[in-house]
Chains A and B, each alone.
Chain A
């Protein structure tokens, strides 16, 4: 229901400073990470520009710090802030890419099942139900593990980012299929659909042009929530050593690298990427919560 933005949109939004702050944070992060090469003070993964002499520098406000490295450096002398921007880029790319894939699969399945009903519905929804039996993170993990077992190591490392998008996207489509199916079943019985049939529109046109726009509201809310979930899933897989390769670490991989040096007191290598990941996820969740409440009239 991407109905025209209601007149109370800005009023409701301005009454929720938390949502505004979250939205601003998301926009800033997307811009900052997308243009990481522009904003990052250093190029952390280019061996030519890093020096081992700069290793283990604490953040700039502590003793013994170097003002060139605002958030300190890691064991190999890489700038933590720059690594975070580059890492955040991968996290956002995988998160948004995976959800886009889930939406496409889920909407296709949901529309087919909900509109046609009968056998199509029964078969598709049984498949969905069985997959729903497994927590998405486990599916992504197993899928990743199976691909890792069947592909040569160098191919797997090269295609790490697309493989992550595929694994997490395939793990997350069921929820989209469920809500789309439920909405499609409702829409199917509406008068406007009967009218479309009466004037002889082809089924594909009815589904794509007339029904789809009416079910986009809940899909949008779920997609925002799922981006947060997908980012966490990606970070978790990378933390477990199954995700992005160490030459191209995402936020999760950065935390994994940092966690190995916890006991040597080098806390900034793990804390700062951790905070960035957490802020990113919380921001997406808060905005999604607000959109859901906004679209749900019963809560007002």
Chain B
């Protein structure tokens, strides 16, 4: 319990720091007053606006106000859309989550069995082929993979649509494009692109961990006891590879969000990533700062979840040896 409380405190500090960076960017990149009004506004009017926005207050007061507003979901008004930033993020979020979830699940389903297999049959032909492919998987830039997929499946074969999100329907109160064939066909290539990098990373990690564990003494002893291979691999070995693997999966989650920026651009997927690129193109600082805080939040929460899972899977942490 103490362990989790300490982690929670740490997470709060991290979020405050991220908010500080977001706030500094928000406050000092470009002039918010100039962004709101045109060049022809008089100096007095600008000063009045500055005063009413609270830009003349001490910096700590402004920071505190920014944090309090952010906690209430208020990240200011987007310069380029003239809309509430949080509203815009809420609009775009489902599309990105859809993509991230689909590819995350895909990569786990493929990576865990493949990682275990290549760890056990290290010298086999299939395992070597999988490893060679995984080198390409982690090396190929995702935008390049996306373009190649479009070239093959959309331009040459004409099987899959190359851009956008398909039909969105509501099933059991969840609005998603993954419930229709049209939606799935749109999501397939972006999800595959997003999945491949994670797949390579997780697969290689599981393999490396399996290799380490399989040469330890307790595994050798298990063989000596005459236990069946299946039991040794899955009950004894796999369990002890889990801690680093869970860490990696947790870390990958925030990078999935980051890489979705690229995938969304390639496939013109209307999610958060496209929004961020637009914000950068237009120097839309409130939007930028909000995105920064959002990704920080995703990371912090996934890290907390990872820590909680540690407690479940590793008795050494549970029994207070932290």
Alpha-carbon separation in the docked complex, A134 to B147 (Å): 26
Is the CB of B194 closer than 8 A to any CB of chain A? no
Alpha-carbon separation in the docked complex, A129 to B265 (Å): 29
Asked if B139 and A141 sit within 8 Å, CB to CB, the answer is no
Candidate in A133, A146, A241, A255 with the most chain B CB atoms within 10 angstroms: A133
Is the CB of A186 closer than 8 A to any CB of chain B? no
Q: List 24 A-B contacts (CB under 8 A).
A: A129-B14, A133-B296, A133-B303, A135-B259, A138-B258, A141-B276, A141-B280, A142-B280, A144-B280, A145-B280, A145-B283, A148-B283, A149-B280, A149-B283, A149-B285, A232-B139, A242-B280, A255-B143, A255-B144, A262-B155, A265-B155, A274-B144, A278-B141, A286-B135
Contact partner of B147 among A137, A240, A259, A286, CB < 8 A?
A259
Which residues of chain B from 250 to 281 have a CB within 8 Å of any chain A CB?
A: 254-255, 258-259, 261-262, 265-266, 276-277, 279-281
Query: What 1/0 mask marks residues of chain B from 8 to 51 whose CB sits below 8 Å from any chain A CB?
Result: 00000010011000000100011000000000000000000000
Closest chain-B Cβ to A254's Cβ sits at a distance in Å of: 11
Alpha-carbon separation in the docked complex, A180 to B21 (Å): 26
Contacts of B283 in A (CB 8 A): 145, 148-149
Is the CB of A236 closer than 8 A to any CB of chain B? yes
Which residues of chain A from 243 to 300 have a CB within 8 Å of any chain B CB?
A: 252, 255, 259, 262-263, 265, 267, 270-271, 274, 277-278, 281-282, 285-286, 289
Residue of A nearest to B146 (CB): A259
Decide: A145 near B144, CB < 8 A? Known: A133-B300, A282-B136.
no
Is the CB of B299 closer than 8 A to any CB of chain A? yes
Asked if A262 and B147 sit within 8 Å, CB to CB, the answer is yes
Contacts of A190 in B (CB 8 A): none
Alpha-carbon separation in the docked complex, A240 to B29 (Å): 22
Decide: A240 near B17, CB < 8 A? Known: A267-B151, A274-B144.
no
Contact partner of A236 among B138, B139, B141, B296, CB < 8 A?
B141
Contacts of B138 in A (CB 8 A): 285
A interface residues, how many (CB within 8 angstroms):
40
Alpha-carbon separation in the docked complex, A286 to B265 (Å): 29
Closest chain-A Cβ to B309's Cβ sits at a distance in Å of: 18
Asked if B155 and A138 sit within 8 Å, CB to CB, the answer is no
Alpha-carbon separation in the docked complex, A175 to B151 (Å): 36
Residue of A nearest to B28 (CB): A150
Residue of A nearest to B25 (CB): A146
Candidate in B139, B147, B281 with the most chain A CB atoms within 10 angstroms: B139
Closest chain-B Cβ to A95's Cβ sits at a distance in Å of: 12
Contacts of A148 in B (CB 8 A): 280, 283
Contacts of A255 in B (CB 8 A): 143-144, 147
Is the CB of A96 closer than 8 A to any CB of chain B? no
Which residues of chain A from 146 to 201 have a CB within 8 Å of any chain B CB?
A: 146, 148-150
Is the CB of A228 closer than 8 A to any CB of chain B? yes
Residue of A nearest to B303 (CB): A133
Contacts of A5 in B (CB 8 A): none
Is the CB of A239 closer than 8 A to any CB of chain B? yes
Asked if A142 and B288 sit within 8 Å, CB to CB, the answer is yes
Closest chain-A Cβ to B281's Cβ sits at a distance in Å of: 8
Alpha-carbon separation in the docked complex, A239 to B144 (Å): 9
Contacts of B140 in A (CB 8 A): 278, 281
Alpha-carbon separation in the docked complex, A185 to B143 (Å): 40
Alpha-carbon separation in the docked complex, A271 to B151 (Å): 10
Alpha-carbon separation in the docked complex, A133 to B13 (Å): 13
Q: Is chain A's binding surface mostly helix, strand, loop or mixed? A: helix
Asked if A262 and B144 sit within 8 Å, CB to CB, the answer is no
Is the CB of A119 closer than 8 A to any CB of chain B? no
Asked if B285 and A239 sit within 8 Å, CB to CB, the answer is no
Asked if A133 and B280 sit within 8 Å, CB to CB, the answer is no
Decide: A262 near B292, CB < 8 A? Known: A137-B259, A149-B29, A240-B277.
no
Decide: A146 near B29, CB < 8 A? Known: A267-B151, A277-B144.
yes
Decide: A240 near B299, CB < 8 A? Known: A137-B259, A277-B141.
no
Is the CB of A130 closer than 8 A to any CB of chain B? yes
Is the CB of B245 closer than 8 A to any CB of chain A? no
Residue of B nearest to A133 (CB): B299
Alpha-carbon separation in the docked complex, A274 to B140 (Å): 9
Is the CB of B295 closer than 8 A to any CB of chain A? yes
Alpha-carbon separation in the docked complex, A240 to B261 (Å): 9
Contact partner of B29 among A150, A278, A281, CB < 8 A?
A150
Q: What 10 A-B pairs come out closest when comparing CB atoms?
A: A145-B280, A149-B283, A135-B258, A138-B258, A135-B255, A282-B139, A133-B299, A281-B139, A232-B141, A239-B143
Which residues of chain B from 150 to 175 have a CB within 8 Å of any chain A CB?
A: 150-151, 155
Contacts of A277 in B (CB 8 A): 141, 144
Contacts of B17 in A (CB 8 A): 130
Is the CB of A235 closer than 8 A to any CB of chain B? yes
Asked if A262 and B255 sit within 8 Å, CB to CB, the answer is no
> Assuming A274-B144, A286-B135, what are 10 further A-B pairs, CB within 8 angstroms?
A129-B14, A134-B295, A137-B259, A142-B280, A232-B139, A235-B144, A252-B141, A274-B147, A274-B148, A282-B136
Which residues of chain B from 123 to 149 have a CB within 8 Å of any chain A CB?
A: 135-136, 138-144, 147-148
Contacts of B299 in A (CB 8 A): 133-134
Contacts of B143 in A (CB 8 A): 235-236, 239-240, 252, 255
Which residues of chain B from 290 to 322 have a CB within 8 Å of any chain A CB?
A: 292, 295-296, 299-300, 303
Asked if B261 and A138 sit within 8 Å, CB to CB, the answer is yes
